[in-house]
Structure 1
């Protein structure tokens, strides 16, 4: 697909760009309204593609849970292998679309790897994730940054003390959630490991606070995010943080999201996933 179309969609989902303007520009790039309509299913999420692990998978126990946040209860989706004892815990932080069916499926995938996996709905303070993605992106922009980070720190504490947890806690996040996974590592000394998928880098002045081990997965074609990566890596080295960085050449932002065919890169996603699970098992035990 034309890079200009990928970049336009990235602007639409992250600026954010008004949908009417997005459709108008997409039509101009595609050459006609019909061509634009044909491209939309390749760009937008199709949750029917997301169900790698069905919600009814007999190997898993899943539940809706709540725990105390900074200004009220937080809600989330919890999954674990059925019949397992205490397990290391992993927080799965969603993209700027909220806790949607795709992220819940990722939670189940993580659980099947031998973890107590929790997908928090970071939009809980605003009523929870709506079904409409555009509305979810708007709400993400309305979150209080300090409160959101504090809610994630509290989520680490919730899992650290959970009856089914070993006390070891990691995090992983994608896009907006990738940025939060990196920033969480600067704010929680109790976080043991964090995996960033193409997320914005945290403020450089708090990088020395990081105690967790980091795995950083970036997309080679993701200029918007990658422009800040060299300075971040320099700060990590200066602070002697234990980190590993991978740049997936030829891959677009959101390459792991298998609900969006235009940007999904199966080879990069599989390699990053293997590295992620190996990293979490090594860092958290289990």
Structure 2
């Protein structure tokens, strides 16, 4: 796995035979689905949804308000499990709020059949995710930005980005490296990494779009000390975009606290953090 944006492997991965079968049938990531989860199901009423192919063959799931008119856009970067049903539901939630939401499949080159959500061995997941190195991640984000810019239903120059776990780290890096993004929201994305590669904590001074980071205080993969370091780095930065960014820590929440298909789902933290994201996008895109 890329040292730049390694996936966090928290304690909330639960798998049983019954749970695996149910997760596959419903389209959720098998390795993270709680047997007794009651995931939110967002209807596609009033939306246009489906798969698209962007530049270079990059596939993605899109949800947007139906009909004529243009809308601000949000790129949705998945967890290590790729574009599964929960990621699609997040896109529909954003679309119901008036955004064009597109979730690129960053792993399609190594996983053309999108088998990631059905895998039951983390070692197999890691092999696929490891193929998406930083340069490719940033290129795929740029491809998505460019594709949105060419769509009549996407408002020109009004694109943000959000992502979860692996995707949360991608958000921080894209906000620093990819032109054309107006705002980012990073959900429990790794902040530190290898000394010889860029990672979020070293990219504060190059942020081009303000980022809101959302973290859980019980997350074993991302220590509270890392979140505090990032907060201090943003506050002390010379870069005005960094000063306009912030990190928020939910002390009683774990990794994956927005993911209502996981046992780590925390309703109170999820609602507050979602509201923070929507306010950030409203103010900036």
User: TM bucket by the smaller chain?
Assistant: 0.7 to 0.9
Match of 1:219 in 2: 216
1:10 lines up with 2:7 in the alignment: no
Contact (CA 8 Å) 2:69, 2:152: kept in 1 or not?
no
- 1:109-188 aligned at under 5 Å gives the runs 109-128=93-112, 129-130=114-115, 131-133=117-119, 134=121, 135-167=124-156, 168-188=158-178
| Distance (whole Å) between structure 1 residues aligned to residue 190 and residue 226 of structure 2 | 8
1:192 lines up with 2:182 in the alignment: yes
1:49: Cα distance to partner? 3.5
1:112: Cα distance to partner? 0.4
- 1:199-278 aligned at under 5 Å gives the runs 199-201=189-191, 202-226=199-223, 227-237=225-235, 238=237, 239-240=239-240, 241=242, 242-261=244-263, 263-278=264-279
Contact (CA 8 Å) 1:52, 1:105: kept in 2 or not?
yes
| Distance (whole Å) between structure 2 residues aligned to residue 9 and residue 207 of structure 1 | 25
Which contiguous aligned blocks of 4+ residues in structure 1 show a shift greater than 4 angstroms? 36-43
- Where 1:92 maps in the other structure, the secondary structure is strand
Contact (CA 8 Å) 1:62, 1:77: kept in 2 or not?
yes
Superposition TM-score, scaled by structure 1 size: 0.79
Distance 1:138 1:43, change over 3 A: closer
- Where 1:259 maps in the other structure, the secondary structure is coil
- Where 2:109 maps in the other structure, the secondary structure is helix
Q: Deviations over 1:32-52 (max 9, x none)?
A: xxxx88999998315984352
1:64 lines up with 2:64 in the alignment: no
Superposition TM-score, scaled by structure 2 size: 0.79
- Where 2:76 maps in the other structure, the secondary structure is strand
Indicate the structure with greater helix content.
1
Match of 2:27 in 1: none
Structure 2 unaligned blocks of 5 or more: 1-7, 23-29, 192-198
Number of residue pairs matched?
A: 251
| Distance (whole Å) between structure 1 residues aligned to residue 206 and residue 148 of structure 2 | 21
| Distance (whole Å) between structure 2 residues aligned to residue 222 and residue 60 of structure 1 | 35
